[in-house]
Amino acid sequence: MKGAEILIESFRKEKVDVVFGYPGGSVLDIFDIIYKSGLRFILTRHEQGAAHAADGYARATGKTGVCIATSGPGATNLVTGIATAYMDSVPMVAITGQVPTRMIGNDAFQEADITGITRPITKHNYLVKDIDELPRILKEAFYIANTGRPGPVLVDIPKDIQNASTDNKYPDSVEMRGYKPNYEGHIQQIKKAAEMIMAAQRPVIYAGGGVIISNGSEELTKLAGKAGIPVTTTLLGLGSFPSTDDLSLGMLGMHGTKYANLAVQDTDLLIAVGARFDDRVTGKVSEFAPHAKVIHIDIDPTSIRKNVNVDIPVVGDVKKVLAELIKNIKKCDTQPWLKKIAGWKKEYPLSYGKGGLKPQFVIEKIYELTRGDAIITTEVGQNQMWAAQFYKYTRPRTFLSSGGLGTMGYGLPAAMGAQAGCPGKLVFDIAGDGSIQMNIQELTTCVLNKLPVKIIILNNGCLGMVRQWQELFYGGRYSSTILNSKGPDGEKGITFCEENKCHPYLPDFIKLAGAFGAEGVRISKDSEVIPALKKAIESDKTYIIECIVDPEENVFPMVPAGASLNEMIESMA
């Protein structure tokens, strides 16, 4: 069997049902096999789109996402998507073509050392130099990607290896010395953690994306309910605990709720579950949760004590550890603590002002119409934070966003991947007018593959989050963040007009939707939101709703970078 055939056969054995990618000279042998394989292959319009689509597919389904690109620029175009998946622990196998083995290192046409380039951003990578090694390497690649702390694995296959032949001895299992993930938490550590929890007066659970990855949301909800412990989540932990539950504090950190941040700063026991204490959560580390002892549950031992001191570490699979913890715990006396938190919730709710179409209003209406039963992807920036704050996530794998890397251009291709993996679900991409333009070419991919993604563009005519920082910390000098045609000094620019109303925004997203084969509508009033959303939801087409929102709206509360969580900015006043 040829190397290209072994690759496609490995997809069948690993139950891969969809692959995203883009062809090129160094993968033509693979694509020739794909042509007659019956494999569902989605041709994206850019390799970055393929990587993000594989990522979105993986986050929405829990399976491993797969993407393919050719050598050189094709491979390097995957890099942003691979790094995004690496930072957020997303299982992905990326296949790249490479120049023939005899030409490696000779600066051959479209040659790039992709294994060297991706070494810091992959869980593992391989350059295949021997056809006899290919079946084992492919089996290991899928195993490594979706076991332990998941992550992307890259397999670089030279053109001559794709054409070489060998017996396909695809292994049934993997045995790798030095790689043996520990799923079972140490029982004595779990019992110590249970005792510390029951002794606490003001406990808080801090849940991260690891809860969702391990499918531990049900156990988390049981633990919180049984012990009476409030739960705050990271951005990637949204959906791990129902935000409609009375014990939910919403998100913490830079743009978290005020009551979540106050609770963390006042807690005497922080129970970190599948979270890594990143700087957007902790703010000033030395002043983070200053009165708290810390229990940290994580499958990755290198995450323990990486950023904060920990009193009781428990290394293991979150779902398994939480199940054991539930057995060892009783209801805690947290009523005074919960009463104090209820007071904060009443005093400091998330809110926004009046005047113009507000982005928060649009997101609230999406939730009202979908009742939380949609998959929401986001781009990065203000749109991402409003989507995190104002949509209520009640199920895992319903909020997909680039957390660690903060990748603009993530949302649309990720929505495409999620829709391909979950064809019966309603999928929204909540975008800004800046971020959507980074991978807007994937509209065509959605249309041609009948993926009815709904794209909400919150158009404020600027790079909103950067402009917000310039407004708060750089004296309002909007250097290169204004996207509308008037420019930063308000000079007259190019406009487009419709129904006697002229817009200074470029491009015309509705004409762009039409050019790509999608449908779209532009709105600018509160009264237009629900009719537009209903029309988009009822449509079986890829659909854009461009919302002309208040350009001055900012995301609050906000903890400035490097400040402590109780130094929140709550408005411009």
Active site residues: 47, 109-110, 159, 465
- Alpha carbons 343 and 401: distance in angstroms, whole number: 31
Phi then psi for 243, rounded to 5 degrees?
-75, -5
Residue 422 to residue 442: CA distance in whole angstroms: 18
| Long-range Cβ contact pairs of 437-441 (< 8 A, separation 24 or more) | 437/507, 438/379, 438/408, 438/409, 439/46, 439/48, 439/49, 439/52, 439/409, 439/410, 439/412, 439/413, 440/412, 440/512, 440/516, 441/45, 441/46, 441/49, 441/516
Residues in a beta bridge with 98: 158
Per residue, what are the HEC states of 64-102? CEEEEECCCHHHHHCHHHHHHHHHCCCCEEEEEEECCHH
User: Tokens 């790094």 map to which residue?
Assistant: 83
| Cα 302 from Cα 318, distance rounded (Å) | 15
Which phi and psi (to 5°) does residue 211 adopt?
A: -65, -45
Amino acid sitting at position 502: C
Q: What is the SS3 assignment for 428?
A: strand
Angle at 484 between CA 482 and CA 487, to 5 degrees: 60
What the block records as the tokens of 334 is 């947290």
Rg of the chain (C-alpha set): 24
**Running DSSP on this structure, what letter comes out for residue 280?**
H
In 3-state terms, what secondary structure has residue 303?
helix
CA angle 177, 180, 186 (to 5 degrees): 140
What CA–CA distance (Å, rounded) separates 99 from 27? Answer: 9
Distance CA 289, CA 565 (A): 9
Residue 59's alpha-carbon distances to 11, 133, 186, 210, 396, in angstroms, are: 19, 30, 28, 12, 10
Cβ 294 vs Cβ 267: under 8 Å? no
Alpha-carbon span 423 to 12, nearest angstrom: 20
